[in-house]
Amino acid sequence: MPFQDIAKLHMTAAEQALAQNLMQQLTDLYSPYMYNLSAEENHRFGRISEKRKLAVEKVNDYHNSQPALQSPDVDWPEFERDRSTRKHHEMMAIRMMALAHTLTESRRLHDYDNFQNAMVDYEYAKYRNRTDAGLGFDTKVDELKQFFTGGSMPTLPDGVDPI
């Protein structure tokens, strides 16, 4: 019998609806503040290098510690808002990427479980077709065999330990 049902924790329908609602709220909240740059704009603005980030931080340090040395041509309140917003966006992006990664990994386990159970059901249909012909299992086997063209049933994927 194949190893199956690795992922046994499931969100309720109410929890799934709540998650979708919260995601929509986040999308709605951020929507007015987001930019979707064209390829040309991405090329034009580029990315700030680590060295340039350090330059921004050094300028900010001088702004805070020795304001007499700061340029009067810089809108310093806007400079501070840009820094704060940039840090917030970075932190949120990191958290969302981590969430997306764990969701993808969790989905992978559920995919594995589904496929293992599909193989069990296919083997059962083949067995019933051999032992009780004429009950409709022949059609099921014919329709499913295109998806199960390998040899024996696969073992656990790398990195998945039996529980």
pTM value is 0.74
- Cα of first residue to Cα of last residue in the chain, in angstroms, is 15
- CA angle centred on 16, ends 112 and 18, rounded to 5°: 155
The residue type found at 144 is L
Q: What is the pLDDT of residues 9-64, one digit of tens each?
A: 899 999 999 999 999 999 999 999 999 999 999 999 988 899 999 999 999 999 99
CB proximity list for 35: less than 8 A, separation 6 or greater: none
Structural domain boundaries enclosing 118? 13-147
CA dist 85 and 77 (Å) reads: 12
CA 20/CA 13 separation, integer angstroms: 11
Q: Would 24 be classed as within a structural domain?
A: yes
**Per-residue pLDDT reduced to its tens digit, 138-155:** 999 999 999 988 755 445
Is residue 163 a part of any domain in this protein?
A: no
106-118 pLDDT tens trace: 999 999 999 999 9
- Domain assignment of residue 44, yes or no: yes
* 79 is a domain residue: yes
Q: Which two tokens stand for residue 79?
A: 């400079």
Angle at 104 between CA 102 and CA 107, to 5 degrees: 110
| Number of domains into which the chain is organized | 1
Q: What is the pLDDT of residue 93?
A: 96
**Domain annotation covers residue 154:** no
In-domain check, residue 140 = yes
